[in-house]
Amino acid sequence: MKNLKIIIITGLSGSGKSSAIAAFEDAGFYCVDNLPVALLPKFLELPIQSETNIAGLAFVMDLREKGFLSKYPIILESLREKGYNFSILFLEAEEDILLNRYSQTRRHHPLSYGKSLLDGIRTEKEQLKNLRKAADKIIDTSRYNVHELKAVIKDIARKSKKLVPMRINILSFGFKYGTPHDADLIIDVRFLANPYFISELKDLNGKSAEVKNYVLNNDETLKFLEKYLDLLNFLLPLYKKEGKTYLTVAIGCTGGRHRSVTIAESIFESILRTYKEVMITHRDIDL
């Protein structure tokens, strides 16, 4: 696991650590919130990398754990000596922003018991000042909304040593059975000539050579495929750059048995030349 990027997320309570770890998870990191720092060395011995294709590891560690401040310097230093590649990401925000966030969520600050919220914030700031100095990157989240913070975190994730490739699913379906809820892009190919009305093709499906020849041996089909594949070739790198982990391209016809299957197969074969993490599913081919 030493060749994986390890991110330690820490900082002030209310600074956006939960949003940060969610963004790392979206980017393909294996994430654990509120991991006791003493368990980190044992966790890193687990065979996670051999079982899953992950971009890295991200852990949130902070003052919610009693003893965190006294334990983290020795443990992190020992991990560095053993050759683990990790960095500390420290999140913070201005006092008035933290006060406003706590007033909106009505959560309790971990150090505010028996004192005011402001005193708790200032106490935590003082206790974490040495950790802040040791951080590899400090992010002030005061002016970020949730989406902006996640964009910043995803940019950090992209710079890690290994990124999970975007997984693309080409899905054929029939509109009569409903549109797929998980589709990112949907294209309707009911404008193409329908093999269903050809007696010798009706009982076949779009994977058969006969139906493929009927659907693809058509100028409109060929022009459509040329234009749609050109659009996908433009979009896919942009989705990948944006940090999208999964992308489902759905192709629909009336029953999901003939035209959509053939077109989905053609799109799958084309995309597979560039992207290896591609699968194809024919949802309604047997209905």
β partners of residue 87:
7
Residue type, 77: E
The class of domain 5-158 in CATH terms is alpha beta
User: CB 105: neighbour CB atoms within 10 A?
Assistant: 9
| pLDDT for residue 161 | 47
Sequence-separated (6 or more) residues with CB below 8 Å from residue 60? 9, 10, 17, 18, 20, 21, 31, 32, 33, 34, 35
- Side-chain-facing half-sphere of 130: CA atoms under 13 Å: 6
Our measurement of the distance from residue 173's CA atom to the centroid of its chain's CA atoms, rounded to an integer in Å, reads 25
Question: Read out DSSP for 30-49?
Answer: EEEES--GGGHHHHTTS-HH
| pLDDT for residue 162 | 54
Our measurement of the distance from residue 197's CA atom to the centroid of its chain's CA atoms, rounded to an integer in Å, reads 43
Vertex 275 angle, CA 272 and 280, to 5°? 50
User: CB 99: neighbour CB atoms within 10 A?
Assistant: 17
Q: Which of 199, 195, 171, 146 is closest to 261 using CA atoms? A: 171
| pLDDT for residue 53 | 67
Hey, CA dihedral for 229, 235, 241, 245, is it positive or negative?
A: negative
| pLDDT for residue 265 | 97
| pLDDT for residue 1 | 56
Which residue intervals of the chain are DSSP H helices?
Answer: 17-26, 40-43, 48-51, 68-81, 95-105, 117-127, 129-134, 146-158, 209-216, 219-242, 259-271
H or E, element range at 59: strand 56-60
| pLDDT for residue 259 | 97
pLDDT digits (tens, 9 = 90+) for 4-58: 788 999 999 999 999 999 999 888 888 999 999 999 998 888 876 555 567 789 9
H helix count then E strand count, the chain: 11, 9
Sequence-separated (6 or more) residues with CB below 8 Å from residue 61? 8, 9, 10, 34, 35, 36, 37, 40, 68, 72
Write out residues in the chain with pLDDT < 50, as ranges: 161
Q: Which of 4, 274, 46, 16 is closest to 160 using CA atoms? A: 4
Look up residue 250 and give its two tokens. Answer: 């759905």
| pLDDT for residue 59 | 95
pTM, rounded to two decimals? 0.59
**Residue 177 DSSP one-character state:** G
**Residue 107 DSSP one-character state:** P
Going from N- to C-terminal start, the domains of the chain cover 5-158, 167-282
88 touches 80 (CB < 8 A): no
20 touches 89 (CB < 8 A): yes
| pLDDT for residue 81 | 86
Sequence-separated (6 or more) residues with CB below 8 Å from residue 148? none
Look up residue 55 and give its two tokens. Answer: 């971009």
CA–CA separation, 20 and 85 (whole Å): 19
